[in-house]
Amino acid sequence: MRIPTLLTTLRRHVHGFQVPLINQIMQEFGHDPYLILVACLLSLRARDVMTIHVCRELFGIVKTPDQVLALPLDKLEKIVYRTGYYKTKAKVLREVSSEIIHRFGGSVPSTYESIISIKWIGPKTANLVLGLGFGVPGICVDTHVHRISNRLGLIATKTVEETEQELKKILPQATWIDYNYLLVMWGQNVCGPISPKCSNCPLRALGCKRIGVKHSR
């Protein structure tokens, strides 16, 4: 499958789909790396539709690491409650904010090595913050990117870490940030984890190998 054709086809067909959570956050609150980071942390194991409500409530009150730390813990827990794991998430938000203040002068750092050195932040979040917050090319590999890239037959990997490395070999750097955006929407609307909609999928005609797909619609 030719990568340019794949990306052109995806771009053409995602019109009208709900944009991913982080892109919604950016539309409403701008490209603030700290807010992108907080939204990523809140979105873990939470539904986007709930996370966006919680982000709106939280960012209506606090928008900086200082402000998050100044918020009483019980109030922070109450706000993030609806994303689940609220005690852990409130604790993580405070610890990450504290590290940003004490190690980086209150601003999210702009290199991968620095972001990943902050406790609780993994490669997926680091790449998303770098790409969307700073415009630094990185491939954010989440469950959709990992699953669909393997189904298409672009790569054959077992872990998200391998997926990131293999995708970097075949995708032009200029497409790294967009790739996550497109595949998240494709995963949420067409190529879901269970029973993907292969019969109507334009990627089938492009040569999707449907690796591992046992049931489809």
* Residues making contact with ligand SF4 (CB under 6 A): 148, 151-152, 190-191, 196-198, 201, 203-204, 208, 210, 213, 216
The closest alpha carbon to 7, from 213, 133, 148, 212, belongs to 148
Smaller CB distance to ligand SF4: residue 135 or 207? 207
Task: Read off the DSSP letter of residue 129.
Answer: I
| Amino acid occupying residue 32 | D
Residue 209 · residue 153 · CB < 8 Å: yes
Instruction: Identify whether the C-beta of residue 124 lies closer than 8 Å to the C-beta of residue 141.
Output: yes
**Number of helical (H) and strand (E) elements in the chain, helices listed first:** 14, 0
Is 52 or 190 the residue whose CB approaches ligand SF4 more closely?
A: 190
> Based on CB atoms, which residue is closest to ligand SF4, 49 or 205?
205
Q: Which residues contact 136 (CB under 8 A, 6 or more apart)?
A: 110, 111, 112, 130
Between CA 153 and CA 146 the distance in angstroms is 11
**Are 131 and 176 spatial neighbours (Cβ–Cβ below 8 Å)?**
yes
Which CB atom, from 174 or from 205, has the smaller least distance to ligand SF4?
A: 205
Angle between helical axes of 3-13 and 176-189 (0-180°, round to 10) = 50
Closer Cβ to ligand SF4, 91 or 204, answer by number: 204
Decide whether 145 or 203 has the Cβ nearer to ligand SF4: 203
**Rounded to an integer, what distance in angstroms lies between the CA atom of residue 121 and that of residue 127?**
10
